[in-house]
Every structure is written in structure tokens, then in C-alpha cells.
Amino acid sequence: MASSIKIIGIGDNGKESLLPIYEKWIYESELLLGGERQLAFFPDYEGEKIVIKNGLSKLVNQLSNEKRNTVILASGDPLFFGIGSYLASKLHNVEIFPYLSSIQLAFAKIGERWHDAKFISLHGRSIKGLAQKIDGEDKVAILTDEENNPALIAKYLLNFGISEYEAFVCEHLGGEKERCRKMTIEEMADEQFLPLNIVILKKVSNSPDWPLGIEDEEFFQRKPDKGLITKKEIRTLSLAALKIKKDSVVWDIGTCTGSVAIEAARIAKDGAVFAIEKNEKDLENCYENMKKFRADFTVIHGKAPDGLEQFSDPDAVFIGGTAGNIDAIIDICAGRLRKNGRIVLNAATIETLSKAVECLKRNQFHVEITLVQISKSKPILDLTRFEALNPIYIITASKN
């Protein structure tokens, strides 16, 4: 039977951060695991030391058969973006004893409450999607790493026009090198920082307000014929049909200006959006719109279905354009779609409608079709008339 495993949180000041009983447990143990920095606080430890690196599943396998009295050292609170919750979910014999998290220490240093902040970890993670996570939040705490350091984060934010925050960067909290500084985003982009740090952003001026259903005129777009864009009314109905959640993975095939992908990314802030477009000029507009509307997602230049293999399996797929490859596109989407996922396709012709429905049914989808015929008011002298938009078929497909 495996022995008990104690996970003990420790600060940057080493043994000074530990209760006497915690230190006693460490020295009484036979196996001590942790990062190199944590293990270095115990040069006189007489048992075996193991440095934890990547590959926690391998660590779980090792610990599940471990008979020795074991202690794992973790930075701060092991349950706050740490290894504590993962190990506790995989092993039944885990006890957790947290120290103050770096978040608590940082907010204490700047004298700010932290229960109303948004917490984001970039430690060992991609910065992709950070723009929509931060946009509009009043207070944000970001856990960094050597790659995603404060200067890189600042440059990233400025690329999306996010400068309405003042920044606090707290380094080596609790340690001998501790330092906390307040600065603008622009100043943070040009500074250098010690490797262990946390960034807090506090909004000091208004953010742009882009509610669902962004007006068509707000998008950068080609305009040979009233704009090659999924119109606001069709876009909002299509987004509703996709049933996107906060953590959804969404595909936008034939993204053009990026209007659907942008609105999807602003909904699925904790998910991911992948888009593809064959026209280079439209792609340039898409990039400009991503910056304007603070939506950071993956977009590639290509003609679907080529390129879709680069995307993660989707929860929702929007097909705005197929360039004649509708059968191949739907077949691939049907094979990759996650459980309870949806495909929504816009068709402007009855030929496209017929072909799409036939292919979807062949792939065992339940299909619903909505014909949308919209007219918008137009002034004529001091009177008002209505001008019709092109009728659009919204095809919604879900698995039976």
C-alpha cells in the first residue's frame, strides 16, 4: 500500500515561509520532490531528491507505487495553477498544505483587493487568445514565465490596442530580490524583469465596447458589391445556431473579413477559434479586424479542406464559403466534430442548399433550415422605404 504524500507550498524565501511542523515533515520524509529552486532550499536533506520536470503522468505512475514517506514541494499555493489539483485527482493518498500564493502576495504589495480580479496563467502556455480574455476586464492578474515575460505581454497587448491599463510587475515576492513597480503598458514593453514575476493590470480608462452584433460598417472589408461580409443579422442568427460556449473550439471556413470568427472568439474566450480564407486581400482585412476588435485566433491562408488538419477538433463549425468543395469540407467536418457539436452553413442559392443538405444527411446529421429574408429601412427625402437584403438559407446540422 502506498504511503501518504504531502504537498507543501513554499515561498521564495525558502524555509522562512514554512511552519515548523511542515519543516519537520520534510526532514522526516524519505523522498523529496520539487523544482530545482525548491529543492535547493534543503541542501542538508538526507533522503532521496527528485527534480520534477515535464510529464506529470509519468510522475503519477511513479508515486502510485511509492512506499516511502514522500513530500512534494510546490511554489505558493499548490491548488492555484499548480500541481496540487492534478495529483490529488490522480492519487488517493494526497494531503495539501498551501503557502500564500504569488497572487495574494502581489495584491497585498499594491494594496488592492483581489477577489474581483480575473486570473490568467501563461506559465508554460501559449499567449494565443489573451486579447479577448483581457478585453473589458477591470482587473487582471497574469502568471508569467520566461517566454511570456512582462515585456512580451506588453508588446502583445499594444498590438491589439490594449493600453487602457496601468501595470504592476512584482518580482521574486518574499525573496531577497523582491521588487514591485507600477508602469504604463508602453513602459512595460521596454523594461527588463527578473525571471520570477507576476503582472497585475488595472483599468484606468474606458475600453471599446463591442457587443454581439457588430455593425457591418465597423469592419475593414472589400466592397465590390456592398461588402463581402456575413451581414450582422445573418451573423447573429448563425452564431446563435452554433450554440458557442465559453470554452468552445470553433472553426470558421471561408472567414473573409473575419466577422464570424471575431464574434465567436469574443464569446469563446476560454476556447479557441480557427479560421481559413483563400483570398489574400480578405485575409489582410481579417488581420486588421482582429486587432481592432481585440480577437486573437488562428487564421491561415488556404482553400478548404486543405489546411483543416492543422486545427483542433471543433465543437462548432461555421461554413460561410466552400469554393466548390462543399462535399469534401462537410465530410471532414463531420468526421472531426466533437460530441454534441454543430455545423452551421450559410447558402445564398438553392443549388448550394440542396447539395449541403444532401451531404449532411449522408453523414447522419439532423438538418434544420431557416430562410432569412430581411429588409432594412432607408430614408427617401423625409420618408422611409425598405431595401431587401439577399435571402440567405441558414442550415443547422446536429448529430441524431
pLDDT band, very low/low/confident/very high, at 322 (cuts 50, 70, 90): confident
Of 3.10.20.30, 3.90.1150.10, 3.30.950.10, 3.40.980.10, which CATH number belongs to 103-203? Answer: 3.30.950.10
Question: Mind listing the pLDDT tens digit for each residue in 39-50?
Answer: 999 999 999 999
Q: Has residue 64 got a pLDDT over 50?
A: yes
- Report residue 239 CA to chain centroid gap: 19
Range(s) for CATH 3.40.50.150 in the chain? 216-399
Per DSSP bridges, beta strands 179-184 and 165-171 are antiparallel
Question: Mind listing the pLDDT tens digit for each residue in 118-128?
Answer: 999 999 999 99
Average pLDDT along the chain: 94
Question: Mind listing the pLDDT tens digit for each residue in 212-265?
Answer: 999 999 999 987 655 579 999 999 999 999 999 999 999 999 999 999 999 999
Task: Name every residue whose Cβ is closer than 8 Å to that of residue 353 and which is 6 or more positions away in sequence.
Answer: 347, 369, 393, 395
Q: Has residue 1 got a pLDDT over 50?
A: no
- pLDDT score at 4: 83
Question: Mind listing the pLDDT tens digit for each residue in 352-396?
Answer: 999 999 999 999 999 999 999 999 999 999 999 999 988 999 999
Range(s) for CATH 3.40.1010.10 in the chain? 5-100
Question: Mind listing the pLDDT tens digit for each residue in 163-203?
Answer: 999 999 999 998 889 999 999 999 999 999 999 999 999 99
Are 172 and 179 within 8 A, CB to CB? yes
Q: Between 62 and 110, whose confidence is greater? A: 110
CATH code: domain 216-399 is: 3.40.50.150
- Work out the average pLDDT over 296-307: 96
Q: Has residue 345 got a pLDDT over 80?
A: yes
- pLDDT score at 296: 98
Question: Mind listing the pLDDT tens digit for each residue in 12-53?
Answer: 999 999 999 999 999 999 999 999 999 999 999 999 999 998
- pLDDT score at 347: 95
- pLDDT score at 76: 93
- pLDDT score at 400: 65
Are 395 and 318 within 8 A, CB to CB? no
- pLDDT score at 389: 87
Q: Has residue 268 got a pLDDT over 50?
A: yes
- Work out the average pLDDT over 151-155: 98
Of 3.40.1010.10, 3.30.230.10, 3.40.720.10, 3.40.190.10, which CATH number belongs to 5-100? Answer: 3.40.1010.10
- pLDDT score at 225: 54
The DSSP code sequence of 224-278 is: SSS-SS--HHHHHHHHHHHT--TT-EEEEET-TT-HHHHHHHHH-TTSEEEEEES
Question: Mind listing the pLDDT tens digit for each residue in 67-90?
Answer: 999 999 999 999 999 899 999 999
Are 119 and 141 within 8 A, CB to CB? yes
Note the pTM of the prediction, 2 decimals. Answer: 0.90
Q: How far apart are alpha carbons 67 and 48 in whole angstroms? A: 13
Range(s) for CATH 3.30.950.10 in the chain? 103-203
Are 254 and 320 within 8 A, CB to CB? yes
Task: Name every residue whose Cβ is closer than 8 Å to that of residue 396 and which is 6 or more positions away in sequence.
Answer: 241, 342, 343, 344, 367, 368, 369, 370
Q: How far apart are alpha carbons 158 and 164 in whole angstroms? A: 10
